[in-house]
Amino acid sequence: MSYALNNVNSLRTDVILSIWLILPAIAIFYYWKWSRSRTVRLINAIPGLKPLPLLGNILHMDGNHDRFFQTMSVDWVKKYGPIYRVWVGLRPFVILASPELAQAILSSSKNNTKTSDYLHFNKWLGNSVMLSSGDHWKNRRRIVTPAFHFQNYQSFIDVFNEKSSMCTAEFERIIGTQGDTEIDISRPLNKCALNIICETAMGQEAKIEEEKDVYPSNVHRFCQLFIERLGQPWLANEWIYKMSSMYRESERCVNTLHAFTNKITKNRRELLERCAKKNLDVAQNGAIVEEKPLSKSRFAIVDRLIEASNEGADLNDSGIREEIDTITFAGFDTTSTAMVWFFFLMAKYPEHQQLIVNELDSVFGDDRDRPCTIQDISELKYLECCIKETLRLYPSLPGPMRTLTEDVELGGYTVPAGVTVIPAFYGIHHNPDVYPDPEAFKPERFFPENSIGRHPYAFLPFSAGPRNCVGQKYAMIELKIVFANILRRVRFTASDPNMSDACRIGLVLKPKYAIRLTVSKRDKND
Ligand code: HEM
């Protein structure tokens, strides 16, 4: 009996030992085979840092470092050229930092498929225009685009004026109670951008004060989780990811974000139905004001989607929610971040702030209350150059990720199908061959006479090609109106002109440290 038991035990030990020896042997064999595959050979022909076995270049990429973006997009471009590769574990990324290389990808109708990493966003944004590809994307893009038609801009402009005046009043209230004072400018600007997008997209602003914090903080956390997941390649597997605490946290964020848009769109639908029944008009902040046809009311993007759906477009209720969530996200985080960087630069370069104020005085005289009109917007040319220079230095989206659907020749290298390429907007905008003295704030780069001959893919804050930003014009007008209204009444100064411009690693290029600026009232004769 004991002899038989010993035999069983020794057999079990042998089996376990064999598994321990065979499994690594199989893994080594596959790794050896993979390292000789065509994809790996082609990728390693592209210049880049020497990868470590299994880890690739993970140890070279310090996401906590203040110069992370400069290292990836400037230092390595200088060292390896405008096309280089990095390995994150066993996954290669090919970075493209010249206008010509970016054009090869962005102008192609074939290689505009988003990488599977963006699936992280599906839970929240579904299969919306921003995430989908192929015919589904074409259909959604066709439905969403008319919402940004010229005829809807007067409604948008009214909202931009109204909400930025509220934001100015908030700065003035702070100055009124605390005198000239240093504040973190992101909170009032976040609130302004959120009010604008909620009202233009869904016809209602976020009413309750705490909702205004809940939405940005959940958007922020959800995007952070996306980056954290990207840095842990094993979590790319949905099955493993679903067992992680990160998954549970992202579910909580999504539920909160859905509840937010559900509530506001539901209110809008009910209001539209009530008004349609009584043939009343919907005016500011959802109040029913006077009897006139619904068509004359202030337009909201959701109305266009509901209309398209009623006219038989392939868009049901959850499709409408997906697009509204997407537009709210795309239109909020990008613009609020651009606002923060703009005032950061205004405080850092007061001479440019003064030039903008001079321009505002020449357009508005000493009227600091008049809302901006379409005519004013076209006259604010120096302000426009400053906005463009802000977006050049700090493009809200530093670079999208695309999966190649076929082999592509890029810069003399064959990049194989299936690989992730990143047209690096930040890298192109900071490339000295494209923009001499790239770290300097020089709005005059965008004067018409200085833009002659610039490559059409040299300035990419809104991307380019068939998948460019649908809200580009909306965003530029929004930023102009917000800045024109605030800068007519408030001055921004920095106690430390050398304050850090370190960027936080993330989907949207945000400042790593809070931007604290002194706000003061602009005098009549300033
Ligand atoms: C400063 C503000 C903005 C910047 C810098 C910006 C930038 C971008 C960029 C770079 C893309 C391409 C993303 C990619 O290829 O992965 C994009 C796409 C998009 N943007 Fe914007 N955006 C801004 C504001 C807005 C606004 C205000 C809206 C809507 C109200 C909007 C709606 C969209 C949508 C729906 C897409 C997806 C288009 C598609 O895939 O076909 N964006 N944006």
Going by the DSSP 8-state scheme, the letter that residue 417 receives in this structure is: T
pLDDT tens per residue, range 29-74:
887 888 889 999 999 999 999 999 888 998 888 777 788 888 988 9
- In this prediction, residue 432 carries a pLDDT of 95
**Percent with pLDDT over 90 in the chain:** 58
Q: How high is the pLDDT of residue 295? A: 43
Q: How confident is the model at residue 112 (pLDDT cuts 50, 70, 90)?
A: confident
* Closest CA to ligand 1's atom 15: 400
Which residues are registered as beta bridge partners of 414?
Answer: 409
pLDDT above 70: residue 348: yes
Please compute Rg for the chain using Cα positions. Answer: 26
User: What is the per-residue pLDDT for 296?
Assistant: 45
79-93, 95-109, 220-234: which range is least confident on average?
A: 220-234
Q: How far is the CA of 477 from the centre of ligand 1 (A)?
A: 14
Inform me whether the pLDDT recorded for 206 exceeds 60. Answer: no
Mean pLDDT of the 465-488 span:
97
Instruction: Quickly state the pLDDT bin for 3 (edges 50, 70, 90).
Output: low
Of 33-47, 197-211, 244-258, 469-483, the range with the lowest mean pLDDT is 197-211
From 334, 336, 396, 482, mutation site for ligand 1 pocket: most ligand atoms within 8 A of C-beta = 334
Q: Is 273 a residue whose pLDDT tops 80?
A: no
pLDDT-derived band at 485 (thresholds 50, 70, 90) equals very high
Q: In angstroms, rounded to a whole number, what is the distance separating the alpha carbons of residues 352 and 444?
A: 11
Q: What is the pLDDT of residue 292?
A: 43
Whether residue 251 is predicted with pLDDT greater than 80 in this model: the reply is: yes
Give residue 310's pLDDT. Answer: 82
Beta bridge partners of 415: 408
Eight-class DSSP state of 477: H
Ligand 1 centroid to 252 CA: how many Å?
Answer: 25
Q: Whose CA is nearest to atom 7 of ligand 1?
A: 462
Q: Please give the distance, rounded to the nearest whole angstrom, from the Cα atom of residue 201 to the centre of ligand 1.
A: 14
What is the number of the ligand 1 atom nearest to the C-alpha of 463? 10
Give the pLDDT of residue 484.
98
Percent of the chain with pLDDT over 70: 92
Residue 469 in marked binding region: yes
Band (pLDDT 50/70/90 cuts) for residue 284 is: very low
CA–centroid distance, 194 to ligand 1, in Å, is 15
Closest CA to 123 of 131, 113, 135: 131
Q: Mind listing the pLDDT tens digit for each residue in 397-417?
A: 999 999 999 999 999 999 999
State the closest ligand 1 atom to the C-alpha of 201, by its place in the atom list counted from 1: 30
pLDDT for the residue 294? 44
Closest CA to 160 of 204, 185, 193: 193
- Mean pLDDT for the chain overall: 88
Look at ligand 1, atom 16, and give the residue with the nearest C-alpha. 400
Mutate to test the pocket of ligand 1, among 469, 477, 479, 509 (most ligand atoms within 8 A of CB): 469
Average pLDDT of span 298-318: 86
Higher pLDDT, 61 or 193: 193
Q: What is the ipTM of this complex?
A: 0.99
Tell me, in angstroms, the distance from the centre of ligand 1 to residue 295's CA. Answer: 27
Q: How far is the CA of 406 from the centre of ligand 1 (A)?
A: 25
Pick 122 or 478 by higher pLDDT: 478
pLDDT at position 210 over 60 = no
Q: Scan for tokens 């020449």, then name that residue.
A: 362
Stated pTM of the model: 0.89
Atom of ligand 1 nearest to the CA of 141: 41
184 versus 214: the higher-pLDDT residue is: 184
Ligand 1 atom 9: the closest Cα is on which residue? Answer: 462
- Minimum mean pLDDT range among 94-103, 326-335, 472-481: 326-335
pLDDT per position as a tens digit, 213-223: 677 788 878 88
Pocket of ligand 1 (CB under 6 A): 129-130, 141, 326-327, 330-331, 334-335, 338, 396-397, 400, 461-463, 467, 469-471, 474-475
The order of strands in the sheet holding 181-184 is 181-184, 516-521, 490-493
Range from 158-167, 232-241, 368-377 carrying the lowest mean pLDDT: 232-241
Residue 338 CA: which ligand 1 atom is closest? 1
- Ranking 205-219, 255-269, 316-330 by mean pLDDT, the lowest is 205-219
Contacts of 365 (CB under 8 A, 6+ apart): none
How high is the pLDDT of residue 34?
A: 81
Please tell me which of 3-7, 20-24, 98-102, 323-327 the model is most confident about, judged by mean pLDDT.
98-102
CA-CA-CA-CA torsion sign (219, 222, 225, 227) = negative
Distance 331 CA to ligand 1 centre (A): 7
Task: Place 14 in a pLDDT band, splitting at 50, 70 and 90.
Answer: confident
Mean pLDDT of 357-364: 97
> Which atom of ligand 1 is nearest to 337's Cα?
1
Do residues 506 and 334 make contact, with C-beta atoms less than 8 angstroms apart? no
- 212: phi > 0 → left, psi -120 to 50 → alpha, else beta; which? alpha
